[in-house]
């Protein structure tokens, strides 16, 4: 039965894919309207937490994902979905969740911004590297024959350009930026929710058939991502606020970017798409739950 995940594709039209691309660009632009150049220079005052966050996001999480894949030995397409999610930058909602958890808001914003910029290069690189270390996914990758230059260009267009434009506009027109972000953030989240709804309705039978296994896989993978940030924070002996932020930043991944890449370059490959789509739902649930726990108990 699991072989069907490798041979199936999620039904998705080009208009819906365009909707997803637009929503991601709007989300990134809205986040960038909250950023200032000073947010980047503030990292120099607290480099240890920032370095720990980058290591957690781009080194430790992909490594732990590889270990997790070796343990559970999922179908190749599911493994590819996990490697791709782990290679994506932090999710944009992480800033809100870090604030809710009483974490370090400045560190959260800085990590989101830098991980997004770094992801232009590191997302294609990390995905290819770690997927190549798992033989079944490596074989599937060779069959697909990806052009990583195209992936680089897609990530740069969807994330890099809106990020840079938003920062420049915020520094030039701060009053307008503050008003615009109040509209853009809920609008972009609404558009993304519509996209997830369309994907679910259009592929209801496939979701229902595999949701039990997918839930367990994503639950374990997301728990490992949260552990990655938390453990690195402890290793670096960070304070509580920074520990909360690192945990959330690593546990909230930009699965929307993963879905764009999956539908653009993998034709909606079943295992990959379902993993990324459920990540998009579950990481918000787990992140919010953790934030409320920290807010109430600590």
Is the pLDDT reported for residue 175 higher than 80? yes
- Neighbouring CB atoms inside 10 A of 117's CB total 17
Say if residue 185's pLDDT is above 60: yes
Domain of residue 200, CATH code: 1.20.1530.20
Long-range pairs of 20-24 with CB within 8 A, sequence gap ≥ 24: 20/192, 20/195, 20/256, 20/259, 20/260, 20/263, 21/158, 21/260, 22/191, 23/188, 23/191, 23/192, 23/195, 23/256, 24/158, 24/159, 24/188, 24/192, 24/254, 24/256, 24/257, 24/260
Report the alpha-carbon distance of residue 278 to residue 214 in Å, rounded.
Answer: 8
pTM of the model: 0.87
Q: For residue range 18-76, list pLDDT tens digits in order.
A: 777 777 777 778 777 777 776 666 677 778 888 998 899 999 999 999 999 999 999 89
Q: Answer for the pair 294, 101: CB distance below 8 angstroms, yes or no.
A: yes
> Per-residue pLDDT tens for 216-275?
999 999 999 999 999 999 999 999 999 999 999 999 988 888 888 888 888 777 788 888
* The pLDDT value given to residue 251: 92
User: Quick one: tokens of 104?
Assistant: 């370090």
What is the count of structural domains for the chain?
A: 1
Supply the range of the domain harboring residue 240.
Answer: 3-297
């Amino acid at each position: 039965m699991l072989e069907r995940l490798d041979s199936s594709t999620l039904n998705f039209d080009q208009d819906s894919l365009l909707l997803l691309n637009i929503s991601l660009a709007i989300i990134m632009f809205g986040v960038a309207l909250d950023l200032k150049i000073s947010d980047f220079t503030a990292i120099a005052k607290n480099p240890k937490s920032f370095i720990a966050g980058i290591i957690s996001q781009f080194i430790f999480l992909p490594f732990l994902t590889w270990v997790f894949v070796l343990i559970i030995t999922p179908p190749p397409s599911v493994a590819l979905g996990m490697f791709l999610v782990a290679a994506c930058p932090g999710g944009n909602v992480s800033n809100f969740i870090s604030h809710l958890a009483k974490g370090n808001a400045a560190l959260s914003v800085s990590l989101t911004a830098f991980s997004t910029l770094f992801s232009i290069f590191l997302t294609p690189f990390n995905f290819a590297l770690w997927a190549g270390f798992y033989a079944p996914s490596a074989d599937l990758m060779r069959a697909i024959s990806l052009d990583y230059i195209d992936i680089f260009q897609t990530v740069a267009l969807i994330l890099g350009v809106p990020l840079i434009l938003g920062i420049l506009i915020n520094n030039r027109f701060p009053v307008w930026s503050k008003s615009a972000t109040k509209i853009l953030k809920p609008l972009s989240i609404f558009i993304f929710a519509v996209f997830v709804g369309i994907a679910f309705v259009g592929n209801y039978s496939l979701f229902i058939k595999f949701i039990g296994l997918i839930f367990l896989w994503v639950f374990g993978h997301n728990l490992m991502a949260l552990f990655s940030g938390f453990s690195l924070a402890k290793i670096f002996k960070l304070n509580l606020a920074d520990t909360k932020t690192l945990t959330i930043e690593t546990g909230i991944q930009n699965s929307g970017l993963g879905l764009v890449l999956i539908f653009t370059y993998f034709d909606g490959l079943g295992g990959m798409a379902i993993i990324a789509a459920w990540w998009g739902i579950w990481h918000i649930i787990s992140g919010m739950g953790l934030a409320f726990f920290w807010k109430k108990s600590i």
